[in-house]
Amino acid sequence: MINNSWDERFNKQEYIYGKEPNVFVKSMLQDHPSCDVLTIAEGEGRNAVYAAELGHRVTAWDYSSVGLDKLHQFADSRNVKVKTKLVDLAQEIDFRENQWDVVMNVFGHIGDASVRQRLMKGIKTMLRPGGVYIMEVYSDRQLPYRSGGGKDIRLLYTPCEVLQIFADWQIKYFYYGEVERYEGKLHTGLGHVIQLAVYKPTD
């Protein structure tokens, strides 16, 4: 039974965003010491499986049970384990303190600005001191590019909201501009993104 639009989208044999990890995630995570990693809006699992292959202890959240089932199939094929949890990020969530060393969000476009801000504040709570939040999402300038993402500008991130929320943290990397992405059929070509790698203070 198909429960939501993401279940319908993922309900096919192919991996619609491919099986290779996101380029930015790969650059940020490949040399990171083994730790507890949470991937949110993870879909079919390409970034979670990559992190697990690096030796991290990985948990993935997504709104689609079909996507999470495909994630487990993918992980099994690569001989790694990923814990999963069915989570609707647009709803109120109990963000437990100091639970993760890394949280990753790759093209997780959930709700309007109020939902995004609640989620990012929750991520600040969940990360342990010294932990890092890694994010690549489409920006508010993405719509004319037609290379991926939703068609509703309310779902797109702005640089101001991201920088305001993380102003009191150590920003290792921030980028607002164009990148080329070839991730399955739905992220193809030149797009406009926000990339962020930001560390939680240790004191």
Q: Examine the pLDDT at 161 and tell me if it is beyond 50.
A: yes
**What distance in Å separates the CA atoms of residue 169 and residue 202, rounded to the nearest whole number?**
10
pLDDT digits (tens, 9 = 90+) for 2-18: 468 899 999 999 999 99
Instruction: Supply the pTM of this predicted model.
Output: 0.95
- Are 138 and 110 in contact by the 8 Å Cβ rule? The answer is no
Average pLDDT for residues 127-136, to the nearest whole number?
A: 98
**What is the percent of the chain where pLDDT is above 90?**
90
- Mean pLDDT (the chain, rounded): 95
Domains of the chain: 5-199 (3.40.50.150)
**What distance in Å separates the CA atoms of residue 100 and residue 20, rounded to the nearest whole number?**
23
Residue 25, pLDDT score: 97
HSE-up (13 A, CA, CB side) for residue 73: 12
Q: Examine the pLDDT at 106 and tell me if it is beyond 80.
A: yes
pLDDT digits (tens, 9 = 90+) for 29-54: 999 999 999 999 999 999 999 999 99
Give the 3-state DSSP-derived string for 108-165, with helices as H, strands as E and coil as C.
CCCCCHHHHHHHHHHHHHHEEEEEEEEEEEEECCCHHHCCCCCCCHHHCECHHHHHHH
